[in-house]
Structure 1
Amino acid sequence: MPIITSKYKPSIIFRNGYISTIYPNILRKVKGVSQKRERVELDDGDFIDLDWSYALIQNSKKIAVIVHGLEGNGQRQYMLGLTKYLNDNEWDSVSINLRNCSGEINRLYKSYNAGVSEDLDQIIHHILTKYTYTDISICGFSLGGNIVLKYLGEDRSLPIEIKSAVAISAPCDLYDSLSEINKPKNYIYQQRFIRHLKKKLYERQIDFPDILSKSDIKNCTSIQDIDNLYTSRAHGYKDAIDYYSKCSSKQFLKNIQKPTLILNAKNDSFLGNLCYPFEEAKNNSNVFLEIPNHGGHVGFYLPNKIYYNEKRTLEFFEKPS
């Protein structure tokens, strides 16, 4: 499918990628979203918490499944912004809080990573078993976008109810994305991620002292150190590089059979060149690649409280193209 020409043209100040990235996280406040939590028991004895929000019309048959990014949750402003806009346009929505991201430590040693498509699969089947939705569309932000793309392109039979998907600011090549995050321009972001990830590891160490030591956690000075120590081993990979290689969604894009939009801004400081899958989009009629010049990482600010990525997601859900 040819690359889509983007219509996103923000005001001058929001053409700066750093401002686009920072502003929604610090100053955006989405109001008017009501969430109802449901705990789903997983096959391996763990749990995932879902945050449901409903359209004003009753008994909507359309549901949007939304997956957050690294160290996110269902209450992040980008999650609430999309939820509100979808609810206002007759879509129910459910935000998945990945394991260990809902405010309560999960039961097992493993938690979540950029490739936990099996958890997304269980949630989709839970929704289809318990509820009566006929149209399911999926949206993933950042790490969640990688999960969604991997899920769609893996060797599995997808439910016919899944109609479309959108991945926003998706690190399609995980190592390439990490290499960008490690650059001096992203030092503040990198340190923030490390601080949050280590905090959760210290919490996990209390429950699993024989597997994880405080000194090992303390010695982690990078995201890759954390992925070598915990993320890879806890989820069955040899090391961080093995995890990045096997979980990067780029390799799965050629197999996607549902209409899927990838919205990655050109000035996203977290994405390297390999995270823009031009060839994969050109060779698969189901993959639509839109690369606005601006937007930063999960930015896409517009002045009317509805961001461009939210408008674009609904537009694609309603008419995939």
Structure 2
Amino acid sequence: MPIVKSDFSPTLPFKNGHFNTMYRPLFMKDTCKYDRKRISTWDDDFIDLDFSFVGGNTLILLIHGLEGSSDSKYIAANCNHLNSAGLDTVCFNLRSCSGEDNLLLTTYHSGKTEDVDFVVNHLAENYNYTNIVIVGFSLGGNLTLKYLGEYHNKIPSIVKGGIAVSVPVDIATAEKEMEKLKNKLYLEIFFKTMKNKILEKAYKFPSYHLDKEKLFKATKFIHLEELYTVPVFGFESPQDYWKKASSKPYLSKIDRPTILINAKDDTFLSPECYPQKEAIQSEYFYLETPNFGGHCGFMTSFKAHENKWLEKRIVKFINETIGVF
């Protein structure tokens, strides 16, 4: 599909990518009342799903980003707006992200689509919906795109399409971008919870031999990958992880309407994270690249009632392109 022309046009301060990225988590007060359902997994663990029911026949499965949860402001805001449009929602809290540590040494990573597949099949088999649409943000967006491409010939027909926002589809180059000075504060925020989680896992699982000194000194994602992701999930190296977890190679296999919305001023993303060629050559994969929006921001102004561009854009794509209304 051709590149989608974006109509996102924020006021002056929100044209700064960092400002737009930080405004939502720091100043928006979005919350959503959930009905939590805990499901047991095939590997003797659990996943917490947070539902918000309004009696719709379509269920929107939302997947948060790195170290997020159903409480993340962008998740709550979209749940509320989707509900107001008559759509039921469920937030998939990735393992260890629901407020309670999961039972296994393994948690989640950018490419762990077997968990997405498990949740989708659970929803398809246990709930009476006509349609399911997957909406993912950042890391959750990578999971969304990779799942729709990787599992394209096994996805239940009830899944009608997907939406992905602020996604590092090429992990190797995105991590290089994250290492730049402009993203130092974001890395520190992520690392605070990630390091604590790894320490807790090492305490609970003595067989996992963690080099704590290296953990404390870690300043890049590759350091945490060498200490945790690679050995715990069985990758050969960080490079092997980047290659296998990135969604970009799977975009051409997506066979139902799906859009990627990546702002051009998203400081997390490398040039390789704007897959124009893949969109132009695909019948189902759309790409929208607003000039502004930051990372999972897309705030328009200081007026709360005007800050619904992303929520409205998601509903519009579901309505007009996926066509489940």
Please confirm whether the aligned pair reaches a TM-score higher than 0.5, indicating the same fold: yes
| Cα 1:162–1:253 shift into 2, 3 Å | same
Which residue of structure 1 aligns with residue 168 of structure 2? 171
Letter in 2 for 1:258: R
1:14 aligns with 2:14: yes
Contact 1:69 1:141 (C-alpha < 8 Å) held by counterparts: yes
Which residue of structure 2 aligns with residue 289 of structure 1? 287
**Which ranges of 4 or more aligned residues in structure 1 deviate by more than 3 Å?**
none
- RMSD after superposition: 1.2
1:186 aligns with 2:183: yes
Contact 1:168 1:309 (C-alpha < 8 Å) held by counterparts: no
TM-superposition CA deviations, 1:196-255 (whole Å, max 9, x none): 210111111111122133334324332110011111221221121110111110000000
Which residue of structure 2 aligns with residue 199 of structure 1? 196
Aligned residues between the structures? 317
TM-superposition CA deviations, 1:102-137 (whole Å, max 9, x none): 111111111000001110110011111111011100
Letter in 2 for 1:173: D
Which residue of structure 1 aligns with residue 271 of structure 2? 273
1:112 aligns with 2:111: no
SS at match of 2:51: strand
Q: Quick one: distance in 2 between partners of 1:305 and 1:130?
A: 37
SS at match of 1:314: helix
1:45 aligns with 2:44: yes
Segments of structure 2 that go 5 or more residues without pairing to the other structure are none
Q: Quick one: distance in 1 between partners of 2:129 and 2:178?
A: 39
The range that moved more, 301-310 or 251-260, is: 301-310
Q: Quick one: distance in 2 between partners of 1:277 and 1:309?
A: 20
* 1:140-151 → structure 2 map (5 Å cutoff): 140-151=136-147
Shift of 1:80: 0.1
Letter in 1 for 2:270: G
Segments of structure 1 that go 5 or more residues without pairing to the other structure are none
Shift of 1:308: 1.6
Letter in 1 for 2:173: D
Letter in 2 for 1:5: K
TM-superposition CA deviations, 1:233-281 (whole Å, max 9, x none): 2122112111011111000000000100100000000000000000000
SS at match of 1:319: helix
The range that moved more, 291-300 or 214-223, is: 214-223
Shift of 1:305: 5.3
Contact 1:193 1:223 (C-alpha < 8 Å) held by counterparts: no
SS at match of 2:321: coil
TM-score when scaled to structure 1?
A: 0.96
Letter in 1 for 2:98: S
Q: Quick one: distance in 1 between partners of 2:318 and 2:276?
A: 22
Letter in 2 for 1:250: K
